[in-house]
A and B are shown apart, each in its own frame.
Chain A
Amino acid sequence: DAGVIQSPRHEVTEMGQEVTLRCKPISGHNSLFWYRQTMMRGLELLIYFNNNVPIDDSGMPEDRFSAKMPNASFSTLKIQPSEPRDSAVYFCASSFNGGDTGELFFGEGSRLTVL
């Protein structure tokens, strides 16, 4: 079975440009998480969806960040405008029944570099 699929794997862009990261969760999973990983701050939860509905976006850094989940098989994380401090690896993860069962299945990540 396919795991969580993220695209692009690598993105290099210039400050001020719009960035869109994409995620396809595992079929049948009803919870989706976006995390950001940096050396300084480790893995930080940005936003959590349950049954396509955003439940908690308190981790989203600022208004430049937005996330959508139009259906159960697709989510996007958008940064507009991007800044150099947004450079990080962004992970999408999915699970069945949110945190209750605990196990998250992560994608391979999207490495973003903002120049």
Chain B
Amino acid sequence: TQLLEQSPQFLSIQEGENLTVYCNSSSVFSSLQWYRQEPGEGPVLLVTVVTGGEVKKLKRLTFQFGDARKDSSLHITAAQPGDTGLYLCAALNDYKLSFGAGTTVTVRA
């Protein structure tokens, strides 16, 4: 079983639409990270959220950490084809960074 459950698994939307990706767990985390992975490349860190209830914005991307620090969401406003990729949430479990299975986002022009 995955420590982190991500949903949906796949998401295909039209350019300009909004989307939300979820990352859930039954465990409490001290912090949670979001990475984006493009085809043929390794994951790249987008953001780290640390405080329960925290909201961070990165241009059109908004990240939220749940109050109980068990879940997180990533919202993209007015998605663009350049947002296409695999979005992965990750959390520290002891010293190991464990990843969710990811959400594959496709933004059609």
What are the residues of chain B within 8 A of A45 when measuring CB–CB?
Answer: 96-98
Query: Which residues in window 68-109 of B have CB below 8 A to A?
Result: 88, 92, 94-102
Cβ-defined partner of A48 (8 Å) among B43, B44, B88, B96: B96
Question: How many chain B residues have a CB neighbour from A under 8 Å?
Answer: 21
Q: Does chain B have a CB within 8 A of A99? A: yes
Whether A55 is near chain B, meaning CB under 8 Å from some CB there, is yes
Of A14-22, A60-68, A79-87, A100-108, the stretch lying at the interface with chain B is A100-108
The answer to whether A55 touches B48, judged by C-beta atoms less than 8 angstroms apart, is: no
Give which listed residue, A91, A99, A107, contacts B95 with CB less than 8 A: A99
In the complex the two chains form, what is the Cα distance from A72 to B100 in whole Å? 29
User: Do the beta carbons of B48 and A48 come within 8 Å of each other?
Assistant: no
- The 0/1 profile, CB within 8 Å of B marked 1, for residues 95-115 of chain A is 000111011101111000000
Find out whether the CB atom of A106 lies under 8 angstroms from the CB atom of B95.
no
- A12 interface residue per 8 A CB criterion: no
Interface presence of B64 (CB below 8 A)? no
A43 and B87 alpha carbons, distance in the complex (Å): 12
Asked whether B92 lies within 8 Å of A4 as measured between CB atoms, the reply is no
CA A42 – CA B101 in complex, angstroms? 5
Residue of B nearest to A106 (CB): B42
CB distance from B28 to the nearest CB of A (A): 16
Q: Is the C-beta of B31 less than 8 angstroms from some C-beta in chain A?
A: yes
Select B42's contact among A55, A56, A93, A102, beta carbons within 8 Å: A93
User: How distant is the Cα of A45 from the Cα of B91 in the complex, in angstroms?
Assistant: 13
B33 touches A108 (CB 8 A): no
**Within the assembled complex, what's the spacing in Å between the Cα atoms of A50 and B23?**
28
A99, B101: Cβ atoms under 8 Å? no
8 closest cross-chain pairs (CB), A and B: A106-B42, A99-B95, A43-B99, A42-B101, A99-B92, A103-B45, A98-B95, A106-B43
**Partner-B contacts on A (CB < 8 A):** 4, 33, 42-43, 45, 48, 55-56, 91, 93, 98-100, 102-104, 106-109
Chain B residues with a Cβ under 8 A of chain A = 2, 31, 33, 40-45, 48, 88, 92, 94-102
